[in-house]
Structures are given as C-alpha cells and as structure tokens.
Amino acid sequence: MKKAPNPIDQQVGARLRMQRMLVGMSQEKLGEALGVTFQQIQKYEKGSNRISASTLKQIARALNVQPSFFLEDAGPRGAAAPGFAEPASGSYVVEFLSTAEGVELNRAFSSIRDPKVRRGIVDFVVLLARSLGGGPSGADQG
C-alpha cells in the first residue's frame, strides 16, 4: 500500500508550482537548474517526494524567492492560529494560483497600475460571486 503524501509536503509543492508558473518557468527548465528531471519536479510539486533543505535553497534561488516562502502558512490544514476563531489556512489561494487561470488572472491584475481600477475590479468580482450564490470566504471587505 502506497503512503499518502504529507500535507506539509503538499503545501510546499503547491507553493513551488505557483511560483514556478508565476515566473513562467517550465518544469524542464527548473529541473535543468537543479540537475534533476522534470518528473522529479512533478513529484516535488505533488508532495509525493520531499524536498531537502539544500534542494529547497536551490529552488528558491532559481525562482528568485527566499526559502521561507515555501513554508509560509505551512501546517496542518484547518489548524486554528492561537487567539483566532477561524483557521489561518490560505491553501485555497495557493491552489488557485497554481492553476493556469490563477496565474493568468494574477499577471493581468498585477499589470493594472491604477489603484481605483484595481479596487473596482475586486468590488465587481465580489458582487458577481455573491449574485451567483458564492462570495468571498473570510475575505476582508475593507
């Protein structure tokens, strides 16, 4: 019987995939930079293979982030932060940003420099989500 990936390894892998996609790097290119195959990168991104500290440092350098970036918000899903009633997990954001749509939306939104236009887009999307029966979950409406 195959052992399920550790949730923290999955979260680190999801952040790896998100950052790799945001910088526009293929699994092949990242693998070349690390001296591993793209299949190994896939295993890291799925959390099925753990990333050693030295490899994490190499990945961070290749993706132009600090190694700590991959461990932000890492912890058991649903674990409440001390002093707060709601879970502090933002893993749904990482999961969304790891999709092609998430990357495309993030790039397009980031290219808009006018803060009023950006705020208007956020307000529109929130209104649209609510009208379709959804809405932001735990998002600050300030």
* pLDDT surpassing 60 at residue 121: yes
- Note if the pTM is more than 0.85: no
Hey, what domains does the chain have and what are their CATH numbers? 1-74+88-98 (1.10.260.40), 100-134 (no CATH)
Amino acid at 35: G
* pLDDT surpassing 50 at residue 79: no
